[in-house]
Structure 1
Amino acid sequence: MVLENQENHEVIVLSQEDHSLPLNPNYGWMLDFKNIKRLPGPRFSDGTINWQCPCMAGGSLVAHRCGHQFRQLYICMSENDHDDVTVKCPDQFINWSACMQNVSGSIYDDGRINIECPCLHSPLAHRCGHLLREAVQCTNSSKTNPRGTDCVDHFIEYDLCLRSFDK
């Protein structure tokens, strides 16, 4: 076992042999990590959708004026089939996008997304928020018409990240 101190961090490097030995009592605090209760992600263990997940803005995406369209989009994208998510829910995405564009403050007149909109605060703070930020930045710098059609892959990455917390 090799111990290194780097500023405020202690790095422990274990060999395969060290890893198979019982934990040294000096590092018993590590056992506390086993007791951390993991909050549910966008899906509960039974497969139902957790509409209150922080990734859904703690429910505000769902309770938002465009929440009905968002729920329809999320349910469609969550269906357990093998269809490509980039093509399986275009109507739901367009309906949700159109609704969001009509909400004062969330979409600018030129089609850019207002990253400062309170409707995005919670999703951007989520563990996958960096991917949503990239998707919004891509959309905002997009030159396509309609704006952002070249950014679908970024939104898919965000969705896949959210789904990774289901497991």
Structure 2
Amino acid sequence: MGPNNKDIVIFATKEDHQVPSKVKLPEPDPQPGLILPNGDINWNCPCLGGMATGPCGVEFRNAFSCFHYSEAEPKGSDCYELFKTMQSCMQQYPTLYNKDLADDDDMKSLGDVDNKVENKSEPQPPAATSSN
């Protein structure tokens, strides 16, 4: 800011742009992953793909927190009901939570196999061949 809280306008010439910049920017702080340095869950981690904030975000956070902090053997075995609740919620939003399955070529091919099995007709005898 300039005098009287006014912006300062600086004009750059063509020659100013021909010289490499001498400005040194600080290194960016490393972004935290899923688990913060203090051991807490980073609910803002892009690795969660929005699961923590979607329509079943509360259920997801409850189940994931239970698993993360679980001391049961095997780990998370005390979280069954919370994961069941999360799954029930997700089933109410199939277009949102099953979108990866709908785009999966393997799932499409399995659907094709199911259709063929359901529409299976009696096998046809081999075509008659003429002998020469």
TM-score (norm 1): 0.40
Higher relative contact order (CA 8 A, sep 6+): 1
Higher Cα Rg, which structure: 2
TM-score, reference length from structure 2:
0.50
Greater percentage in helix: 1
